Chains A and B, each alone.
Chain A
Amino acid sequence: QLQLVQSGAEVKKPGASVKVSCKASGYTFTDYYMHWVRQAPGQGLEWMGRINPNSGGTNYAQKFQGRVTMTRDTSISTAYMEVSGLRSDDTAVYYCARQLGAPWGQGTLVTVSS
């Protein structure tokens, strides 16, 4: 069945980087954009960007340009999202979502704390 499975929770120190994975199954990975959305504790949804798994082309939200990198490995149907220079306000649940429709991943909690 259609499914996106994300990597597990991470705890990072300020200034570090984190890389979250999102493994797709049940459909042709290269046929649909993969989006990344984050949600800080008690806050709303924030679009971070998207990757075209076929070409590798990316669009990033202006806020994250230069700090976020989205990649993919088509051989294992997996998308990745890396955030560098982590700050405390990057503490959030990070979601991947196929075409911003369905399915969504289960979310990965990234906690940034010294």
Chain B
Amino acid sequence: QSVLTQPPSASGTPGQRVTISCSGSSSNIGSATVNWYQQLPGTAPKLLIYTNNQRPSGVPDRFSGSKSGTSASLAISGLQSEDEAAYYCAAWDDSLNGWVFGGGTKLTVL
């Protein structure tokens, strides 16, 4: 059972906009910033969004992040086949004194 809660799966068709949610509590998302990671099959995770809504250099602006209260969301617009991957949220947890991850969301592009 992950500390941060994500839906196990999401799907969309090419060109569509999809959102992935990440629910936490006051000890993590409510008091810390959120990172999002993309993991393509068989590869290491890649940082997609940091500090709630910042994109590292090279990440397309089709990816955006937001945070409100104890929840965060990742939005992907103009969905492409290469976006098919697992997506994870993460945040620092003050109670656990460590980072926590969501369980991951497997995105399927139909």
Contacts and interface: CB of A to CB of B under 8 A. Distances in A.
B101 A44 contact: yes
A104 interface: yes
A102 B56 contact: yes
Interface stretch (B9-17, B42-50, B63-71, B73-81): B42-50
A9 interface: no
Contacts of A61: 96, 98-99
Contacts of B24: none
B96 A62 contact: yes
B104 A44 contact: yes
Contacts of A26: none
Interface of B: 2, 35, 37, 39, 44-47, 50, 56, 86, 88, 90, 96-104
Interface of A: 35, 37, 44-47, 49-50, 59-62, 95, 97, 100-102, 104-107
